[in-house]
């Protein structure tokens, strides 16, 4: 299919506001059911030929099985993953209705309803013509009045783009899988290896569906040959200083994630007679100490391998530095930590203060003050060690440090062998201007549920995402190039052919 046709299809998938709630009983399943109807309409061969199970607490997660012909490979399937759910748009200033969407080409913006077949089911698509540029919003954050010029979504480069919530995270990836399988089915391809397609329904809220599916496959005696989920993408040249090639960043591990609550208490009283060192002051001091004393910078093995792979394409001086990253690790780690948030996060455990609370009134001293920390724990660092470091830096027994939730860093998947070599070869084939490089992902994906027992778990969306696009993940005017959707479809098709043919 042409990029424009793929763009239209992605718009239809994005027109369903599939927002999941942390409490699954608060998730509205209707948009998910409507999305499933659209998927069945757009991909009839897939729905006719593949087995499907509805999974998860609400039965809105989808697990498809494409049976292979070789029984000797039946217990080592290929698992391709993406998630249906998206983050809300509350408080974001979109130039188009985020759940209507638009195709833009730099000259004009075509709203989702123009030239795009209506979504099957219809119930979850926002009314045509509604805008999110201001005014009242419904429960999904969609605008309920006004019109949009889509000026902010227009692409200055002139290529055709799809602007809607979920284009990057993660319905673009879901489309590449659906299209890739549908194309192969239409061509008569018959796989030898089983292929599973898992489309989760609660990834954005760290829900339980992926854990249930991983357990289900394990109970059936399966050990996937490879799991491929969202994660890295094809970044523009210059992702590292001096690197003159685009980089296909394939995550081979995920950082651990810990939510920590800091709490300080005090007798309280009237704000006109404050005592020194009150609850809010002690929380503020704790935060400042964490800001002044970040975790020590270091480079885990995947990051050192990434620098080596990408460094081959840098000028001589930078190439010499990257090639000798082993003995120069302390220096390189410190340099990376100063180059900005993206590269800095590669080199250390990070701590972000995300929530604060104190007194309920302006003239009342707080009896309890709290701060929530989101800690991303580097590969090779146990969560307990990270928490011990936080307590040591705060160094205040009157500030309670409580772990609310914790996930350990994942296992590291290999960067050699049949599976890695296949991904690298396909990058070279589909994205010839890019070089494949491993890295450690800062965020969490559903694939972490497979890491404890599956050796080859990779996180890579075969799509180009430049710095501006990456900055719009979870933000207003999330968008993707229609041309890269075609690249992604080709990548998925070739992956299935090579892994299962």
Domain spans, the chain: 3-223+479-500, 254-407
Beta strands in 236-338 (DSSP E): 246-254, 256-265, 269-270
Please check whether residue 12 is in contact with residue 38, taking contact to mean a CB–CB distance below 8 angstroms: yes
pLDDT for position 158: 54
Q: Residue 331 belongs to what H/E stretch?
A: helix 329-337
Neighbouring residues of 346: CB distance < 8 A, sequence distance ≥ 6: 299, 303, 306, 336, 439, 440
C-alpha to C-alpha distance for 248 and 433, rounded to whole angstroms: 10
Q: Residue 128 belongs to what H/E stretch?
A: none
For the domain spanning 3-223+479-500, the CATH number is 3.40.630.10
Tokens of 297: 């910078």
Tokens of 22: 């942390």
Backbone angles phi, psi at 224, to 5 degrees: -50, 140
Task: Taking each helix axis as running N to C, give the angle between helix 482-500 and helix 172-186, from 0 to 180 degrees, rounded to the nearest 10.
Answer: 50
Residues in the chain: 501
Neighbouring residues of 187: CB distance < 8 A, sequence distance ≥ 6: none
Q: CB atoms < 10 A from the CB of 384, how many?
A: 12
Please tell me the pTM assigned to this model.
0.87
C-alpha to C-alpha distance for 486 and 179, rounded to whole angstroms: 9
Q: Residue 385 belongs to what H/E stretch?
A: helix 383-394
pLDDT for position 164: 98
C-alpha to C-alpha distance for 414 and 404, rounded to whole angstroms: 32
Please check whether residue 325 is in contact with residue 312, taking contact to mean a CB–CB distance below 8 angstroms: no
For the domain spanning 254-407, the CATH number is 3.30.70.360
State the residue for tokens 């810990």. 258
State the residue for tokens 């227009």. 154
Please check whether residue 154 is in contact with residue 163, taking contact to mean a CB–CB distance below 8 angstroms: no
Tokens of 413: 């998947």
The vertex-455 CA angle with 453 and 457, nearest 5°, equals 100
Q: How is 134-181 classified by DSSP, letter by letter?
A: SS-B-TTS-B-S-----GGG--TT---EEESTTIIIIIHHHHHHHHHH
Going residue by residue through the chain (501 aa), what tens digit of pLDDT does each one get?
Answer: 999 999 999 999 999 999 999 999 999 999 999 999 999 999 999 999 999 999 999 999 999 999 999 999 999 999 999 999 999 999 999 999 999 999 998 554 544 433 333 333 333 333 233 333 333 333 333 333 333 333 333 344 458 999 999 999 999 999 999 999 999 999 999 999 999 999 999 999 999 999 999 999 999 999 999 999 999 999 999 888 788 899 999 999 999 999 999 999 999 999 999 999 999 999 999 999 999 999 999 999 999 999 989 988 888 878 887 877 888 888 888 888 888 888 889 899 999 999 999 999 999 999 999 999 999 999 999 999 999 999 999 999 999 999 999 999 999 999 999 999 999 999 999 999 999 999 999 989 999 999 999 999 999 999 999 989 999 999 999 999 999 999 999 999 999 999 999
Tokens of 305: 């391998």
Strands 350-357 and 226-235: unpaired
pLDDT for position 19: 98
């Amino acid at each position: 299919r042409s990029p424009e046709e793929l763009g239209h299809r992605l718009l239809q998938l994005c027109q369903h506001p599939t927002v999941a709630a942390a409490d699954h009983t608060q998730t509205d399943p209707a948009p998910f059911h409507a999305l499933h109807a659209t998927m069945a309409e757009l991909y009839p061969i897939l729905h006719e030929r593949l087995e499907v199970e509805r999974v998860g607490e609400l039965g809105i997660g989808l697990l498809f099985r494409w049976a292979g012909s070789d029984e000797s490979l039946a217990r080592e399937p290929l698992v391709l993953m993406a998630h249906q759910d998206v983050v809300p748009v509350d408080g974001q200033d979109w130039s188009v209705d985020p759940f209507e969407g638009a195709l833009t080409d730099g000259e004009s913006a075509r709203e989702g309803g123009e030239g795009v077949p209506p979504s099957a089911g219809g119930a979850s698509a926002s009314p045509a013509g509604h805008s999110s540029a201001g005014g009242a919003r419904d429960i999904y954050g969609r605008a309920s009045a006004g019109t949009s010029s889509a000026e902010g979504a227009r692409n200055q480069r002139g290529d055709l783009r799809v602007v809607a919530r979920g284009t990057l995270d993660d319905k673009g990836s879901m489309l590449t899988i659906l299209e890739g399988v549908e194309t192969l089915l239409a061509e008569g391809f018959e796989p030898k290896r089983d292929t599973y397609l898992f489309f989760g329904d609660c990834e954005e809220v760290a829900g339980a569906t992926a854990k249930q599916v991983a357990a289900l496959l394990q109970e059936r005696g399966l050990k996937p040959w490879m799991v491929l989920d969202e994660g890295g993408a094809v970044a523009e040249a210059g992702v590292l200083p001096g690197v003159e090639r685009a980089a296909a960043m394939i995550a081979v591990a995920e950082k651990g994630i810990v939510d920590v609550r800091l709490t300080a208490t005090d007798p309280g009283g009237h704000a006109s007679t404050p005592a020194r060192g009150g609850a809010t002051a002690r929380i503020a001091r704790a935060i400042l100490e964490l800001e002044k004393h970040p975790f020590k910078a270091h480079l885990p093995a995947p990051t050192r391998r990434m620098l080596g792979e990408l460094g081959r394409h840098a000028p001589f001086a930078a190439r010499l530095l990257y090639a000798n990253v082993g003995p120069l690790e302390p220096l390189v780690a410190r340099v990376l930590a100063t180059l900005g948030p993206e590269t800095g996060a590669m080199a250390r455990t990070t701590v972000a203060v995300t929530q604060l609370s104190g007194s309920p009134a302006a003239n009342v001293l707080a009896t309890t003050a709290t701060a929530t920390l989101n800690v991303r724990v580097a590969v090779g660092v146990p969560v307990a060690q990270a928490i011990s470091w936080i307590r040591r830096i705060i160094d205040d027994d009157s500030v309670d440090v409580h772990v609310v939730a914790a996930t350990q860093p994942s296992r590291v998947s290999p960067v050699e062998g049949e599976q890695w070599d296949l991904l690298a070869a396909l990058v070279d084939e589909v994205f010839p201007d890019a070089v494949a490089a491993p890295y450690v992902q800062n965020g969490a994906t559903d694939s972490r549920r497979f890491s404890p027992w599956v050796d080859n778990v990779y996180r890579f969306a075969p799509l180009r995402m430049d710095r501006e696009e990456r900055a719009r993940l979870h933000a207003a005017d999330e968008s993707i190039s229609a041309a890269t959707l075609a690249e992604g479809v080709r990548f998925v098709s070739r992956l299935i052919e090579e892994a299962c043919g």
